[in-house]
Structure 1
């Protein structure tokens, strides 16, 4: 795991209520920086500075609107061919402006809104961090780009696919206590974050309390004392080299799992592949259910 994964885990969408057959413009909303933003007309040229947003736009039939994406957008295949605009903290402002976008979708992190707004570009900051926000802000994104019906369909399919996995894991008798590491600093996930909810739905009991926040930096001593039965996101050799960690139950029983790269990426993006991420995580937590 690295900082790139943590940044990806903290990137996403925004919220707005209401639904209609087609978006009426101008559309005014409050974004995740607390700014009141007006989208004057249906966006035709969009730059997405978030991998999760890029995925969602393509999943709601708006991929053709994209004229540029951040350096980490790599799914679906279509976005890999688009011009790269740099990363969240090292964006290429000149390259973004050169694409002449009528909308740039950013995170509440990275401070991109200032220079782009000064350049006369409409900027909307979007950032789901909780499980429910993944769905509500997908709907909002659909409304912003006039793909609301497609967004509703996507949300329905996602919830249905997630429910299929939950049917398997909900009544499991033994649910291991678990620690999920998303950065070796170490950072983990709280139970109310979208990743924390997935961990619970996968049939595990998160050792991180809600009081620590959604993506907390954790004292290694806390993890040793919590003594999780399952450790995810770090390999056994690395975990075993940490002071005191050999006493942890997961190390003793060999339940330390380094998450495969593709699953790792899906877990870190609050977007349309959430159901696949849950299924992959559930297979690790309860492999007996998927034989």
Structure 2
């Protein structure tokens, strides 16, 4: 009887050990923003980021210590500045990337040059393509990275906080009177963003309306005449640094040459820290809050309706 009990105990223990071993070696799979399935044999331990927003997302997902390489301008959080550089979004050091022996490379589908991506594929290292377009995509990317890195606890918490912040903004501004908005990416040539870009989603969140939402491609070139014809109530652009400028940036100030433009007549020329509004990361909630506040300022500057 004792012998049978001992055998049963051994079989039970073996079953548990096998189960744990099976879990430990189970493949990890997620779907990236290119629609491809990315599969790893185990959580990634050596990761290379090929976009500044990706670096920030990996830190937020709890994988900062796994980063062995990053591209230029990967500057947040501050410790990201110490990560070895492997190029920028247009030119990559493939030899250095290979020498770092990564088990996962996270790339920016829109920002990294196509020729460079093809060369990366030849290394036969798993690639995860990141290209968030909607506000909710930031949280989804965090959870996917958490799965690939084995840091789901941290990643899920960061995603939950971000979702909560965005939900609060949506609840607060969803029913505000709409404001027509021109978002200026660059001034020479004059460039903007269409409705599929993340920034356009932020504008909508805040009760704004992107006047060039229907244009193609993602970052279309427009004429000064087109902006004047659209006559936006507010004009936004991204600034460098977290301190809000005391006066409009030169690329915005030039619009004062057209005093009849609604945004100029009402002094609705706004600049937001580019790192908070252009990068699809958890800090986007901060940039969205600023844009929402600025749109409220624009609403407050509307002429009083005549009785």
Same fold by TM-score greater than 0.5: yes
SS at match of 2:185: strand
Determine whether 1:183 maps to 2:186.
Answer: yes
CA distance in 2, matches of 1:42, 1:182: 38
Aligned pair partner of 2:198 in 183, 194, 202: 194
Give the TM-score normalised by the residue count of structure 1.
Answer: 0.79
Q: Cα deviation per residue 1:114-133 (whole Å; 9 max; x = unaligned)?
A: 32332343322221123332
Q: Cα deviation per residue 1:134-168 (whole Å; 9 max; x = unaligned)?
A: 23232222222222333222221111112223343
Q: What are the ranges of 5 or more consecutive residues in structure 1 without an aligned counterpart?
A: 1-21
CA distance in 1, matches of 2:146, 2:33: 16
Larger Rg: 2
- Give, in angstroms, the shift of residue 73 of structure 1: 0.8
What RMSD in Å do the two structures reach over aligned CA positions?
2.8
What residue is the counterpart of 1:86 in the other structure?
87
CA distance in 2, matches of 1:151, 1:268: 21
- Give, in angstroms, the shift of residue 25 of structure 1: 4.0
What residue is the counterpart of 1:132 in the other structure?
136
- Give, in angstroms, the shift of residue 105 of structure 1: 0.9
- Give, in angstroms, the shift of residue 248 of structure 1: 1.4
Whether the aligned pair in 2 keeps the contact of 1:70 and 1:84 (CA below 8 Å) is: yes
CA distance in 1, matches of 2:196, 2:25: 34
Moved more, 122-131 or 206-215: 206-215
What residue is the counterpart of 1:172 in the other structure?
176
CA distance in 2, matches of 1:135, 1:168: 20
Whether the aligned pair in 1 keeps the contact of 2:106 and 2:129 (CA below 8 Å) is: yes
Whether the aligned pair in 1 keeps the contact of 2:29 and 2:148 (CA below 8 Å) is: no
Q: 1:119 to 1:110 in 2, by over 3 A?
A: same
CA distance in 2, matches of 1:204, 1:193: 14
Give the total of aligned pairs.
Answer: 264
- Give, in angstroms, the shift of residue 272 of structure 1: 1.4
- Give, in angstroms, the shift of residue 200 of structure 1: 1.9
CA distance in 2, matches of 1:215, 1:268: 13
Q: What are the ranges of 5 or more consecutive residues in structure 2 without an aligned counterpart?
A: 1-22, 239-247, 300-307
- Give, in angstroms, the shift of residue 107 of structure 1: 1.7
Q: 1:242 to 1:24 in 2, by over 3 A?
A: farther
- Give, in angstroms, the shift of residue 227 of structure 1: 0.2
SS at match of 2:182: strand
Q: 1:23 to 1:210 in 2, by over 3 A?
A: farther
CA distance in 1, matches of 2:210, 2:46: 42
SS at match of 1:279: helix
CA distance in 2, matches of 1:23, 1:165: 40
CA distance in 1, matches of 2:51, 2:57: 10
